[in-house]
Amino acid sequence: MQQNEALTFQKGLKDGLPICLGYVSVSFAFGMMATQGGLPVWVALLISMTNLTSAGQFAGLQLILTGGLYIEIAVTTFVINIRYMLMSLSLFQKVDEAMSSLQRFVLSFGVTDEVFAVAMQQKGSINARYFSGLIVTPYIGWAVGTFLGATATGLLPGSVRTALGIAIYGMFIAIIIPPAIKAKPVAKVILISVVLSCFFKWTPYLNRISSGWVIIVCAVIASAYAALRYPVQEAEVQE
């Protein structure tokens, strides 16, 4: 965790770089799927540049290609992405009070799992400059990856592509493990959430619930339990 370093636009760009790299591989796959499904390159790119969300886009693409109804697309997108609501809520408790409404409206477009994770790691409040930098690099990576995947299908050898599939999860692990070692309640939150998530995934019938809902249910239960059991002190809230 970097402290005492000014939260500049440049630092945002730099912190966004690992996210950007991870995004290139995921959006590459998205671009490939889109063109293999028969969509032109510009449509794949348009989806990525207006949505900026992995699971939601993959599901949406599937529905576009298989002739899904508009209402199906709306509901599916909503369910898969509703976790962003929790993230936005959590994140915007942490932003600088000087951030204007316009800035908030614009920057909320860039709230993704990874941007959220990196932003929450910062000590103290987050300003608009840093947050825009943090969004720009991943956004470019997401668009470039989509474009490359859509145009040059099969550019990367398959062995490299499958190996990169784990990169984003590796990043998540790098974020949650160090705080878990330092604070026992955080470790318990993680443990509860993991157990619940596995339970949903591997139990018949329950495994039909979309991952968006599962994440919300797991996160709400684990966090509520910890908040009751180990309420944070004023000083450590920013941890």
Partner 1 sequence: MNYPRILTCIFIMAFVTYVIRMLPLAIFKKKINNRFIKSFLAYVPYAVLAAMTFPEILYSTANLYSACIGLAAALFLAYRGRGLLTVALGSAGAVFVAEQILRVVMK
* Interface with partner 1 in residues 189-208 (CB under 8 A): 189-194, 196-198, 201-202
Residue with tokens 């943090």: 134
Give the closest residue to 83 by CA, choosing from 231, 196, 207, 218: 218
- 54 lies in the site for partner 1, by CB under 8 A: no
- 70 lies in the site for partner 1, by CB under 8 A: yes
Shortest Cβ 134–partner 1 spacing (Å):
13
Shortest Cβ 172–partner 1 spacing (Å):
5
Shortest Cβ 230–partner 1 spacing (Å):
7
What residues numbered 76-115 form the site for partner 1, per CB under 8 A?
77-78, 81-90, 92-93, 95, 97, 104-105, 108-109, 111, 113
- 150/186 with CB nearer partner 1: 186
> Binding residues for partner 1, how many (CB under 8 A)?
102
- 4/50 with CB nearer partner 1: 50
What residues numbered 108-137 form the site for partner 1, per CB under 8 A?
108-109, 111, 113, 116-118, 120
The neighbouring-strand residues paired with 95 are: 126
Rounded-to-integer distance, Cα 41 and Cα 151, Å: 7
- 62/151 with CB nearer partner 1: 62
Which segment (4-12, 61-69, 136-144, 146-154) binds partner 1 by CB under 8 A? 61-69
Q: Around Cβ 151, how many Cβ atoms within 10 Å?
A: 14
Which segment (5-13, 64-72, 129-137, 148-156) binds partner 1 by CB under 8 A? 64-72
Q: What is the 3-state secondary structure (H, E, C) of 17-80?
A: HHHHHHHHHHHHHHHHHHHHCCCCHHHHHHHHHHHCCHHHHHHHHHHHHCCCCHHHHHHHHHHH
| b (16+ CB within 10 A) / e for 116-141 | bbbbeebeeebbbbbbbbbbbbbbeb
- Residues 200 and 209: beta-carbon distance below 8 Å: yes
User: DSSP assignment of 156-184, as one string?
Assistant: S-HHHHHHHTTHHHHHHHHHHHHHHHH-H
What residues numbered 13-42 form the site for partner 1, per CB under 8 A?
17-18, 21-22, 38-40
- 155 lies in the site for partner 1, by CB under 8 A: no
Among 180, 203, 205, 235, binds partner 1 (CB under 8 A): 180
